Amino acid sequence: MKITIGHLYPDLLNLYGDRGNIQCMMKRCQWRGIEAETLEFKLEDEVDFSKLDIVLLGGGSDREQMIVCKRLQQIQKNFKDYVEDGGVVIAVCGGYQLLGDYYQTDEGRMEGLHLVKLHTEQKPGRLISNIVLKSDLFDMPVVGFENHGGRTDIGDNQPFGKVLYGSGNDGESGYEGIVYKHVIGTYLHGPLLPKNPQVCDWLIKKALERKYGKDIELQPLDDQEEKEANAYIVNRFVK
Protein backbone atom coordinates (compact mmCIF):
# COMPACT_ATOMS: atom_id res chain seq x y z
CA MET A 1 0.00 0.00 0.00
CA LYS A 2 1.07 3.56 -0.66
CA ILE A 3 -0.03 7.02 0.44
CA THR A 4 0.75 10.32 -1.26
CA ILE A 5 0.52 13.45 0.88
CA GLY A 6 0.13 16.85 -0.75
CA HIS A 7 1.58 19.76 1.23
CA LEU A 8 0.08 22.96 -0.18
CA TYR A 9 2.34 26.03 -0.23
CA PRO A 10 4.72 25.16 2.64
CA ASP A 11 6.92 28.13 1.70
CA LEU A 12 4.07 30.42 2.81
CA LEU A 13 1.89 28.33 5.13
CA ASN A 14 4.30 26.81 7.64
CA LEU A 15 4.04 29.23 10.54
CA TYR A 16 3.36 26.61 13.20
CA GLY A 17 5.70 23.76 12.37
CA ASP A 18 3.31 22.06 9.97
CA ARG A 19 6.14 20.00 8.53
CA GLY A 20 6.06 18.16 11.85
CA ASN A 21 2.60 16.94 10.90
CA ILE A 22 3.96 15.71 7.58
CA GLN A 23 6.85 13.94 9.28
CA CYS A 24 4.47 12.27 11.73
CA MET A 25 2.22 10.92 8.97
CA MET A 26 5.21 9.72 6.97
CA LYS A 27 6.83 7.91 9.90
CA ARG A 28 3.63 6.25 11.13
CA CYS A 29 3.10 4.91 7.63
CA GLN A 30 6.69 3.75 7.23
CA TRP A 31 6.74 2.02 10.64
CA ARG A 32 3.84 -0.08 9.37
CA GLY A 33 5.45 -0.89 6.05
CA ILE A 34 3.16 1.48 4.15
CA GLU A 35 4.99 3.37 1.43
CA ALA A 36 4.57 7.13 1.83
CA GLU A 37 5.66 10.16 -0.15
CA THR A 38 5.07 13.90 0.18
CA LEU A 39 4.63 16.28 -2.73
CA GLU A 40 5.20 19.95 -1.95
CA PHE A 41 3.40 22.52 -4.09
CA LYS A 42 4.41 26.13 -4.65
CA LEU A 43 1.99 28.82 -5.79
CA GLU A 44 2.80 28.39 -9.47
CA ASP A 45 2.50 24.59 -9.42
CA GLU A 46 -0.48 22.70 -10.79
CA VAL A 47 -2.19 20.51 -8.18
CA ASP A 48 -3.57 17.20 -9.43
CA PHE A 49 -5.83 16.09 -6.59
CA SER A 50 -6.42 12.71 -8.26
CA LYS A 51 -2.87 11.77 -7.28
CA LEU A 52 -3.22 12.83 -3.62
CA ASP A 53 -4.51 10.79 -0.68
CA ILE A 54 -4.06 13.38 2.11
CA VAL A 55 -3.83 17.16 1.76
CA LEU A 56 -2.25 19.43 4.38
CA LEU A 57 -3.16 23.12 4.35
CA GLY A 58 -1.13 24.81 7.04
CA GLY A 59 -1.10 28.10 8.88
CA GLY A 60 0.38 31.47 7.99
CA SER A 61 0.12 35.15 8.80
CA ASP A 62 -2.80 37.18 7.46
CA ARG A 63 -0.50 38.59 4.76
CA GLU A 64 0.55 35.13 3.60
CA GLN A 65 -3.03 33.88 3.73
CA MET A 66 -4.06 36.76 1.47
CA ILE A 67 -1.44 35.74 -1.08
CA VAL A 68 -2.43 32.09 -0.95
CA CYS A 69 -6.19 32.64 -1.08
CA LYS A 70 -5.93 34.21 -4.53
CA ARG A 71 -4.23 31.08 -5.84
CA LEU A 72 -6.67 28.81 -4.02
CA GLN A 73 -9.58 30.36 -5.92
CA GLN A 74 -8.06 29.01 -9.13
CA ILE A 75 -8.06 25.42 -7.85
CA GLN A 76 -11.29 25.70 -5.83
CA LYS A 77 -13.43 23.47 -8.05
CA ASN A 78 -10.90 20.63 -8.12
CA PHE A 79 -10.33 20.95 -4.37
CA LYS A 80 -14.10 20.91 -3.75
CA ASP A 81 -14.53 17.82 -5.93
CA TYR A 82 -11.74 16.09 -3.98
CA VAL A 83 -13.41 16.86 -0.64
CA GLU A 84 -16.88 15.78 -1.78
CA ASP A 85 -15.37 12.52 -3.07
CA GLY A 86 -14.10 11.71 0.41
CA GLY A 87 -10.61 13.15 0.06
CA VAL A 88 -8.71 13.49 3.34
CA VAL A 89 -7.69 17.00 4.45
CA ILE A 90 -6.02 18.32 7.58
CA ALA A 91 -6.22 22.13 7.72
CA VAL A 92 -4.51 23.97 10.56
CA CYS A 93 -5.15 27.51 11.82
CA GLY A 94 -4.95 29.76 8.73
CA GLY A 95 -5.65 26.76 6.54
CA TYR A 96 -8.73 26.03 8.64
CA GLN A 97 -10.00 29.58 8.16
CA LEU A 98 -9.52 29.32 4.40
CA LEU A 99 -11.78 26.24 4.19
CA GLY A 100 -14.84 28.40 4.73
CA ASP A 101 -16.74 31.16 2.97
CA TYR A 102 -14.61 34.09 4.09
CA TYR A 103 -12.23 35.50 6.67
CA GLN A 104 -12.99 39.11 7.55
CA THR A 105 -9.88 40.95 8.77
CA ASP A 106 -9.07 44.57 9.58
CA GLU A 107 -7.30 44.72 6.20
CA GLY A 108 -10.25 43.38 4.23
CA ARG A 109 -12.12 40.21 3.42
CA MET A 110 -10.38 37.06 2.21
CA GLU A 111 -12.53 34.91 -0.01
CA GLY A 112 -12.51 31.36 1.26
CA LEU A 113 -12.61 28.06 -0.59
CA HIS A 114 -16.28 27.35 0.24
CA LEU A 115 -15.33 23.74 0.98
CA VAL A 116 -17.13 23.79 4.32
CA LYS A 117 -19.93 26.05 5.53
CA LEU A 118 -18.14 28.28 8.05
CA HIS A 119 -16.82 31.82 8.29
CA THR A 120 -14.26 33.67 10.39
CA GLU A 121 -14.12 37.26 11.61
CA GLN A 122 -11.20 38.99 13.25
CA LYS A 123 -11.98 40.32 16.74
CA PRO A 124 -9.96 42.33 19.28
CA GLY A 125 -7.51 40.29 21.30
CA ARG A 126 -5.94 36.95 20.50
CA LEU A 127 -6.94 33.57 21.87
CA ILE A 128 -3.62 32.15 23.06
CA SER A 129 -3.44 29.07 25.22
CA ASN A 130 -2.72 25.42 25.56
CA ILE A 131 -5.91 23.60 24.66
CA VAL A 132 -7.47 20.22 25.43
CA LEU A 133 -10.45 18.73 23.60
CA LYS A 134 -12.77 15.77 24.00
CA SER A 135 -13.52 14.49 20.51
CA ASP A 136 -16.15 11.89 19.67
CA LEU A 137 -13.74 10.44 17.09
CA PHE A 138 -11.05 9.36 19.57
CA ASP A 139 -10.54 7.65 22.91
CA MET A 140 -7.67 9.95 23.89
CA PRO A 141 -8.11 13.67 24.53
CA VAL A 142 -6.79 15.90 21.74
CA VAL A 143 -4.15 18.40 22.87
CA GLY A 144 -2.34 21.30 21.26
CA PHE A 145 -1.71 25.04 21.33
CA GLU A 146 -3.86 27.82 19.89
CA ASN A 147 -2.94 31.36 18.86
CA HIS A 148 -5.51 33.12 16.71
CA GLY A 149 -7.30 36.44 16.39
CA GLY A 150 -10.09 35.04 14.25
CA ARG A 151 -13.40 33.85 15.66
CA THR A 152 -14.83 31.00 13.60
CA ASP A 153 -18.54 30.20 13.31
CA ILE A 154 -19.14 26.63 12.09
CA GLY A 155 -22.94 26.83 12.11
CA ASP A 156 -24.54 23.40 12.37
CA ASN A 157 -21.41 21.50 11.36
CA GLN A 158 -19.79 18.86 13.56
CA PRO A 159 -17.02 20.32 15.73
CA PHE A 160 -13.66 18.61 16.04
CA GLY A 161 -14.14 18.50 19.79
CA LYS A 162 -15.55 19.98 22.97
CA VAL A 163 -13.16 22.31 24.77
CA LEU A 164 -12.04 21.04 28.18
CA TYR A 165 -9.40 23.75 28.52
CA GLY A 166 -8.71 26.72 26.25
CA SER A 167 -10.79 28.92 23.97
CA GLY A 168 -11.60 27.00 20.79
CA ASN A 169 -13.35 28.41 17.74
CA ASP A 170 -14.53 31.65 19.27
CA GLY A 171 -13.91 31.58 23.04
CA GLU A 172 -17.64 31.31 23.68
CA SER A 173 -19.26 28.26 22.07
CA GLY A 174 -17.19 25.69 23.98
CA TYR A 175 -16.22 23.86 20.79
CA GLU A 176 -13.16 23.74 18.56
CA GLY A 177 -12.53 22.97 14.91
CA ILE A 178 -14.71 21.19 12.42
CA VAL A 179 -15.16 17.74 10.91
CA TYR A 180 -16.74 17.48 7.47
CA LYS A 181 -16.64 14.17 5.61
CA HIS A 182 -12.89 13.34 5.84
CA VAL A 183 -11.81 16.94 6.49
CA ILE A 184 -10.49 18.09 9.86
CA GLY A 185 -10.09 21.83 10.36
CA THR A 186 -8.55 22.99 13.63
CA TYR A 187 -6.70 25.80 15.38
CA LEU A 188 -4.52 23.28 17.22
CA HIS A 189 -0.86 23.34 16.31
CA GLY A 190 2.44 22.71 17.96
CA PRO A 191 2.44 20.58 15.66
CA LEU A 192 -0.80 18.67 16.23
CA LEU A 193 -0.17 15.08 15.14
CA PRO A 194 2.91 13.95 17.13
CA LYS A 195 1.02 14.45 20.43
CA ASN A 196 -2.19 12.99 19.03
CA PRO A 197 -1.39 9.66 17.36
CA GLN A 198 -5.05 8.68 17.09
CA VAL A 199 -5.74 11.78 14.98
CA CYS A 200 -2.82 10.91 12.72
CA ASP A 201 -3.98 7.32 12.32
CA TRP A 202 -7.55 8.45 11.55
CA LEU A 203 -6.23 10.47 8.60
CA ILE A 204 -4.09 7.56 7.36
CA LYS A 205 -6.90 5.01 7.76
CA LYS A 206 -9.46 7.14 5.91
CA ALA A 207 -7.00 7.80 3.10
CA LEU A 208 -6.18 4.12 2.66
CA GLU A 209 -9.83 3.05 2.77
CA ARG A 210 -10.76 5.61 0.11
CA LYS A 211 -7.85 4.61 -2.11
CA TYR A 212 -8.22 0.85 -1.87
CA GLY A 213 -11.98 0.60 -1.41
CA LYS A 214 -11.97 -1.65 1.65
CA ASP A 215 -11.85 -1.53 5.44
CA ILE A 216 -8.31 -1.07 6.73
CA GLU A 217 -7.07 -2.17 10.15
CA LEU A 218 -3.85 -0.33 10.95
CA GLN A 219 -1.09 -2.25 12.70
CA PRO A 220 -0.80 -1.04 16.33
CA LEU A 221 2.32 0.94 17.19
CA ASP A 222 4.12 1.48 20.49
CA ASP A 223 2.75 4.93 21.35
CA GLN A 224 3.94 5.07 24.95
CA GLU A 225 5.95 8.29 24.51
CA GLU A 226 3.16 9.96 22.55
CA LYS A 227 0.61 8.99 25.20
CA GLU A 228 2.85 10.33 27.97
CA ALA A 229 3.22 13.68 26.17
CA ASN A 230 -0.53 13.84 25.66
CA ALA A 231 -1.29 12.92 29.27
CA TYR A 232 1.16 15.52 30.59
CA ILE A 233 -0.82 18.31 28.92
CA VAL A 234 -4.17 16.90 30.03
CA ASN A 235 -3.09 16.42 33.66
CA ARG A 236 -1.56 19.88 33.80
CA PHE A 237 -4.56 21.82 32.55
CA VAL A 238 -7.72 19.75 33.07
CA LYS A 239 -8.74 19.45 36.70
CB 155 within 8 A of CB 118: yes
**Cβ atoms within 10 A of the Cβ of 224, count?**
8
Closest CA to 131 of 174, 97, 90, 100: 174
Active site residue 119: no
> Which of 7, 119, 182, 189 is the catalytic position?
189
* Residue 120, amino acid: T
- Which helix H or strand E contains 25, and what residues bound it? helix 19-30
Annotation says 189 is catalytic: yes
Question: Which candidate in 24, 93, 182, 200 is catalytic?
Answer: 93
- Where would I find the H helices in the chain? 19-30, 62-74, 76-84, 94-98, 197-212, 224-237
Please report, as a single letter, which amino acid is at residue 87. G
Q: Which residues belong to the active site?
A: 93, 189
